[in-house]
């Protein structure tokens, strides 16, 4: 039996679809088909969104509009309501060009951009664009240096190693705390019931899912983040 600690990219995409359906329901959803390599991502998002519509007994006419490029976004844009532009691609050239142009087009328009967290790490992309577009993404791991426990752990590391800790340090802390504390409390059988033991760490949350008895567990815990007022904010939604 294998347990997957880090959620897959498709879990992140599906959670963004669930969040969109739940918290951005009265919006115009525009899904951008960037490259042929990204079609599986788009299909995953749309299938999850449409399944949610059915489960909420909403009409599929409220589904996503699929377009190509910025010209397609302009053609699908609806004035007078929030327009959510969803873009799943790892093509850096496409991302930089599209986001730059979209930020210009968004002037005096209610547009929100949603995509992969890696967008925030593009070297030549002006971070102001992400703020203007209120960029949203789903992620599993994030260090909040405002958290007192995180700051204390970082201080201990700095005092001992005379260096700043990496993300692996905080991830290791959470892995140890999750598995060892539950092992001590429940015993060896804990490993067969991971899906019954959710837990929130300082860097990683754990919410395991097991499709059936023949497969292992996958951690499906993710959080939604957004750029707002030039700060990255964690949204209270999971």
**pLDDT given for residue 147 in this prediction:** 82
- Give me the domains of the chain, ranges plus CATH numbers: 3-140+223-235 (3.40.50.2300), 148-215 (no CATH)
In DSSP terms, 228 is beta-bridged to 231
Q: What is the enclosing helix (H) or strand (E) of 170?
A: helix 167-186
Asked if pLDDT for residue 6 goes beyond 70, the answer is no
Condensed to tens digits (0 to 9), the pLDDT of residues 15-62 reads 999 999 999 988 999 999 999 999 999 999 999 999 999 988 888 777
The set of residues, in sequence order, having a beta carbon less than 8 Å from that of 154 and lying 6+ positions away, is 145, 164, 165
DSSP one-letter string for 45-104? HHHHHHHHHHHTT--GGGSPEEE-HHHHHHHH--TTS-EEEEE----HHHHHHHHHHHHH
pTM: 0.83
Condensed to tens digits (0 to 9), the pLDDT of residues 201-223 reads 888 888 888 877 777 888 888 88
Percent of the chain residues topping a pLDDT of 90: 61
Contact indicator for 213, 185 with CB cutoff of 8 Å: no
**pLDDT given for residue 1 in this prediction:** 45
Q: Binning pLDDT at 50, 70 and 90, where does residue 5 land?
A: low
Condensed to tens digits (0 to 9), the pLDDT of residues 113-157 reads 999 999 988 988 898 999 999 999 998 877 777 788 999 999 999
| Cα–Cα distance for residue pair 33/66, rounded to 1 Å | 7
Residue length of the chain? 238
Chain mean pLDDT for the chain: 90
């Amino acid at each position: 039996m294998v347990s997957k600690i880090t959620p897959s990219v498709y879990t992140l995409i599906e959670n963004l679809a669930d969040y969109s359906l739940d918290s951005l329901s009265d919006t115009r959803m525009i899904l951008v088909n960037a490259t042929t390599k990204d079609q599986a991502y788009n299909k995953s998002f749309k299938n999850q969104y449409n399944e949610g519509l059915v489960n909420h007994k909403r009409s599929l006419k409220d589904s996503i509009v699929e377009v190509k490029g910025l010209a397609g976004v302009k053609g699908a844009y609806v004035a007078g309501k929030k327009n959510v532009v969803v873009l799943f691609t790892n093509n850096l050239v496409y991302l930089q060009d599209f986001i730059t142009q979209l930020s210009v087009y968004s002037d005096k328009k209610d547009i929100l951009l949603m995509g992969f967290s890696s967008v925030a790490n593009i070297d030549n992309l002006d971070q102001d664009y992400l703020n203007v577009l209120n960029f949203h993404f789903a992620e599993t791991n994030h260090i909040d240096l405002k958290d007192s426990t995180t700051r204390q752990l970082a201080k201990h590391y700095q005092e001992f190693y005379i260096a700043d800790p990496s993300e692996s340090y905080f991830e290791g802390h959470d892995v140890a705390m999750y598995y060892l504390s539950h092992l001590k409390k429940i015993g060896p059988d804990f490993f067969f019931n991971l899906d019954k033991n959710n837990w929130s760490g300082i860097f990683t949350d754990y919410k395991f899912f097991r499709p059936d008895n023949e497969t292992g567990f996958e951690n499906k815990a993710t959080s939604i983040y957004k750029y707002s007022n030039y700060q990255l904010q964690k949204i209270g939604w999971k």
